Amino acid sequence: MRTSSLLLLAAMLSFSAVATGGEEPQQQPPAQPDMAAFARGAKAWADNCARCHNMRDPKDLSDDQWKVVTTHMRLRAGLDGREVRDITVFLQGSN
């Protein structure tokens, strides 16, 4: 009984490899930023963030860290959703 279970498992794995072509799925390259959003974000970042902060190099923080910062600053700076998304696109696209 155990041998037949192992044979069934081996057959299923073989079929799976044949069905997928034996290749691993390829990862998609990162999407290019929306250039209009990038430009709006650069302007909004310069207009809004520079009022209270020294301008930081976007490379100072990772994409995930910029996401947290922009989400937090949306409330503090009174930014609307589009401005925050555009600023995030700019910062993430610049690092």
Alpha helices in the chain (DSSP H): 2-19, 35-48, 63-77, 81-94
Q: Where are the domains of the chain?
A: 33-95
Whole-number pLDDT of residue 95: 85
> Can you tell me whether residue 50 is helix, strand or coil?
helix
Whole-number pLDDT of residue 20: 47
- Give percent above pLDDT 70 in the chain: 65
Whole-number pLDDT of residue 18: 45
Q: Write the pLDDT tens digit of every residue in 4-50.
A: 444 444 445 454 444 445 455 566 555 666 899 999 999 999 999 98
Whole-number pLDDT of residue 19: 45
Question: Full-prediction pTM beyond 0.75?
Answer: no
